[in-house]
Structure 1
Amino acid sequence: MLKSLAVASAALFISTAAFAQSTVIVTEPQPAPGAVVVHEMPTQVRTYVMQQSVPSVNYNGDVLVGRVLPQDVQVRTVDGYDDYGYTVVNERRVIVEPSTRRVIQVLD
């Protein structure tokens, strides 16, 4: 009787331990420092930027996604979309994150 009680207790303990491992936590990884994060942009932002007539600014170097524009390049805000700015650099329209001045997209 004592032996069967021990076997039953052991079986109960093992099955309880198996059920205890059912929780899974998933977190989104943070991008590496300096990584370029691509996100969907409203089509209205692109349309607005393409319709604006602003002078081009000369810039030494390539205008690339992820590049931070210098302070002397005027960045204008897209009407109705404060998270997007734009300018024209080296005859190319660029969409910029106004708070960091980082180029989000280069338009052709």
Structure 2
Amino acid sequence: MSITVNLYYSGINGNARKFAEEMENSGTAAAIRNEDGNEKYEYFFPMNDPETVLLIDSWRDQNAIDAHHASPMMTTIAHLRNKYDLHMKVERYVSDTVEVPSSDVKFIRE
């Protein structure tokens, strides 16, 4: 089982992108990727909304998320969210399988 959290950071004047850039350039994102249980931590930029950044954040299980939330990284993230005056929308998904269903395989090009 994995838990994936999609976080949509929104702001004004390019602040969401500046936030993501600072997370990457400061090494904070890399440190989070190295935390035990982190499976994915990647930023994406929606083409139809230049003031939003999507973070796809996947973890092995709830214990890994809880450990991340208790880490010093959360203080850094909160500081940067406040610095760039960002608002968030969150979606949470729990995987039930790691294999692609056979009915979907014909639609996937690797």
Q: Calculate the TM-score normalised by the size of structure 2.
A: 0.29
Between Structure 1 and Structure 2, the one with more strand by share is: 2
Between Structure 1 and Structure 2, the one with more helix by share is: 2
Which of the pair has the greater relative contact order for Cα pairs under 8 Å at 6+ separation?
2
